[in-house]
Chain A
Amino acid sequence: MFELTEEHKILFSTIEKFAKEKIAPVSNKIDEEDEIPREIYMELRDMGLLGITIPQKYGGSEFDMKTYAGILEIVGKYSGGLALSLEAHNSLGLSHIFEFGNEVQRERFVQKIINSANPVAWGLTEPQAGSDAKNLLTTAKKEGKHYILNGSKIFITHGVLSDYIVIIAKTDNGITSFIVSGDSDGLTKSKIKGKLGMRGTDTAELNLDNVPVPAENMLGKEGDGYRQAMKILDGGRIAIAAISVGIAQAAVDSSLKYMKERSAFNKTLDNFEALQFSISELQTDIEAGRLLVYKAATLKDSGDSYRKTAAMAKYFTSKTAMKAADFAIQVHGGYGYFSEFGINRLLRDAKLLEIGEGTSEIQKLIIFRELTKD
Chain B
Amino acid sequence: MVNIIVCIKHVPDTETRIKIKEDKKGIETTGIKYIISPYDEFALEEAIRIKEKHGGTVTAITMGPKRADDILRTALAVGADNAIHILSENGDSINTVMTIGEVIKTLPYDIILTGKEAVDYGMGVFPSGIAEYLGINNINNVTKLDISNRSLVASRQVEGGDEIVEASFPVVISAQKGLNTPRYPALPNIFKAKKREVKILDAKSISVPPFISGGSLVELSLPPPKKGAKMVEGQTPEEIAAKLIKMLKEEAKVL
Bitwise, B184-226 to A at CB < 8 A (1) or not (0) is 1111101101100000000000000000000000000000000
Q: Which of A7, A13, A46 has the most CB of B within 10 A?
A: A7
Chain A residues contacting B74 (CB-CB under 8 Å) are 10, 14
Instruction: List B contacts of A61 (CB < 8 A).
Output: 186-188
Q: Kindly state the interface size class of chain B when it binds its partner.
A: 10 to 19
- Is B33's CB within 8 Å of the partner chain A? yes
Q: List the A residue with the shortest CB-CB distance to B188.
A: A61
- Residues in A neighbouring B132, C-beta threshold 8 A: none
The answer on a CB contact under 8 Å between A14 and B184 is yes
- Check if A47 sits within 8 Å of B194, measured CB to CB: no
A63 within 8 A of B: yes
Does any Cβ of B come within 8 Å of A76's Cβ? no
Minimum Cβ distance to chain A for residue B74 (Å)? 6
Q: Which residues of B contact A273 (CB under 8 A)?
A: none
CB neighbours of A11 from chain B (8 A):
187, 190-191
Cβ proximity bits B155-197 to A, threshold 8 Å, 1 near / 0 not = 0000000000000000000000000000111111011011000
Complex contact B70–A46 (CB within 8 A): no
Separation of A255 and B69 alpha carbons in the complex (Å): 35
Could you mark each residue 1-36 of chain A with 1 if its beta carbon is under 8 Å from any beta carbon of chain B, else 0? Answer: 000001101110111011000000000000000000
**A10 B184 Cβ-Cβ under 8 A:** no
A236: B residues at CB distance < 8 A:
none
Contact code string B76-102 (vs A, CB < 8 Å = 1, else 0): 010000000000000000000000000
Q: Does B73 belong to the interface (CB within 8 Å)? A: yes
Q: Write the nearest CB–CB distance from A71 to chain B, whole angstroms.
A: 8
Determine the residue in chain B with the shortest Cβ distance to A51: B188
Bound: A11/B33 CA distance, A: 14
Q: Are A47 and B33 in contact (CB under 8 A)?
A: no
Residues from chain A with a CB closer than 8 A to the CB of B35 are: 13, 17
> Per DSSP, are chain B's interface residues mostly helix, strand or loop, or mixed?
helix
Query: Which of A7, A18, A48, A49 is within 8 Å of B194, CB to CB?
Result: A7
Contact A56 B184 (CB under 8 A): no
Contacts of A13 in B (CB 8 A): 33, 35
Tell me if A7 and B186 are in contact (CB < 8 A): no
* Chain B residues closer than 8 Å to A17, beta-carbon distance: 35, 184
Are A14 and B188 in contact (CB-based, < 8 A)? Answer: no
- Whether the pair B186, A46 counts as a contact (CB closer than 8 A) is yes
Asked whether A47 lies within 8 Å of B191 as measured between CB atoms, the reply is no
> Which residues of A sit under 8 angstroms from B185, Cβ to Cβ?
14, 47
Question: Contacts A7-B73, A10-B73, A14-B74: A46 and B191 contacting too (C-beta < 8 A)?
Answer: no
CA of A17 to CA of B35, assembled, Å: 10
> How far is B183's CA from A6's CA once the two chains are assembled, in angstroms?
21
User: Which residues of chain A come closer than 8 Å to B73, judged between CB atoms?
Assistant: 6-7, 10
Contact B190 A56 (CB under 8 A): no
A43 within 8 Å of B by Cβ?
A: yes
The answer to whether A270 has its CB under 8 Å from any CB of chain B is no
Task: Knowing that A14-B190, A62-B188 touch, tell me 17 more A-B residue pairs with CB under 8 angstroms.
Answer: A6-B73, A7-B73, A7-B190, A9-B70, A10-B73, A11-B187, A11-B190, A11-B191, A13-B33, A14-B74, A14-B185, A18-B184, A47-B184, A47-B187, A61-B187, A63-B187, A63-B188
User: Interface on A for B, CB 8 Å cutoff?
Assistant: 6-7, 9-11, 13-15, 17-18, 43, 46-49, 56, 61-63
Q: 28 A–B contact pairs at CB < 8 A?
A: A6-B70, A6-B194, A7-B73, A7-B191, A7-B193, A7-B194, A9-B70, A10-B70, A10-B73, A11-B191, A13-B35, A14-B74, A14-B184, A14-B187, A15-B187, A18-B184, A43-B184, A46-B183, A46-B184, A46-B186, A47-B186, A48-B186, A48-B187, A56-B188, A61-B186, A61-B187, A61-B188, A62-B188
